[in-house]
Amino acid sequence: MNLCHEQEAVRRAVARLAEANDRLEGMARVSFVKNSGGLWAQVGNRPETDLLIFTRELVQWPAIHRLKLQPHAVYSATRLAGVKMLSWAQNAALLEQAHTEGFDDVLLLNERGHIAECTSANVFLVRGDQVLTPPLSSGCLPGVTRDVLHEVVPQAGFELREENLTQEDLSSAVEVFISSTTREVAAVGSIDSQWVYDTPGKITMTIEAAFREYVRNHLRPSQPPVAA
């Protein structure tokens, strides 16, 4: 990665664009376009990658999600499994079809019948005092919120485990929730018409509150040192 694309430089670029677009609260999509290798490689003094940033208003997600189950939607053995990239056509098509059928998102299964993720969110099942989520080997994306929940869930008093999960696990779960940067922690009320959950569940609400407190603490500006 070029020096101009180091994390802090990208963060500043996002902040400048958000301010210019009057997006004090909004979403940003950051993309890196590779200029070397492949059929579309550039020549000359082009940078190794181009940085593209887009902003838009926040999406208004439903409080309770209804999911549609979709088998054979993720191929976990591919080299690019778990990589976030611009080629999102399949997920977009599945999501559009789900919306026409009255669902909010799609729960994707991989080629082995294991639960992987939603089209743009990670998924968690609650069983007893355990919170279960698919491992990265399922083909799911290593979401930022998913990563934070690995810290937040134990602090909230629950055990978080990564396990290969199947449709049978949907029957034994007492609560289901999904996570993403824009949805944070969102309760799932139903999956197809076969699995229905009481929402919002107590554990989901506890984890949601703990996550929001984590975000508030993370965003709270540090106090300047007191002069002697």
The predicted-structure confidence for 106-159, as pLDDT tens digits, reads as follows 999 999 999 999 999 999 999 999 999 999 999 999 999 999 999 999 999 999
Report the distance separating Cα 94 and Cα 55, nearest Å. 24
Query: Residue 89: CA atoms inside 13 Å, Cβ hemisphere, count?
Result: 1
Would you state the structure tokens that stand for residue 194, as one six-digit string? Answer: 């076969």
β-strand pairing of 122-127 with 130-133 = antiparallel
Three-state DSSP state, 209: helix
* DSSP line for 153-196: HHHTT-EEEE----HHHHHH-SEEEEEETTTEEEEEEEETTTEE
Is this structure's pTM higher than 0.75?
A: yes
β-strand pairing of 27-34 with 49-56 = antiparallel
pLDDT at 43: 58
Q: Are 179 and 146 in contact (CB under 8 A)?
A: yes
Ordered by where they begin, the domains of the chain are 3-56 (no CATH), 64-215 (3.20.10.10)
C-alpha 179: how far from chain center: 6
Report the distance separating Cα 75 and Cα 112, nearest Å. 9
The percent of residues in the chain predicted with pLDDT above 70, rounded, is 87
228 residues of the chain, pLDDT tens digit each: 444 588 888 889 988 998 898 887 888 888 887 777 766 665 567 777 888 888 888 788 898 999 999 999 998 877 666 666 556 788 899 999 999 999 999 999 999 999 999 999 999 999 999 999 999 999 999 999 999 999 999 999 999 999 999 999 999 999 999 999 889 999 999 999 899 998 889 999 999 999 999 999 987 765 454 444
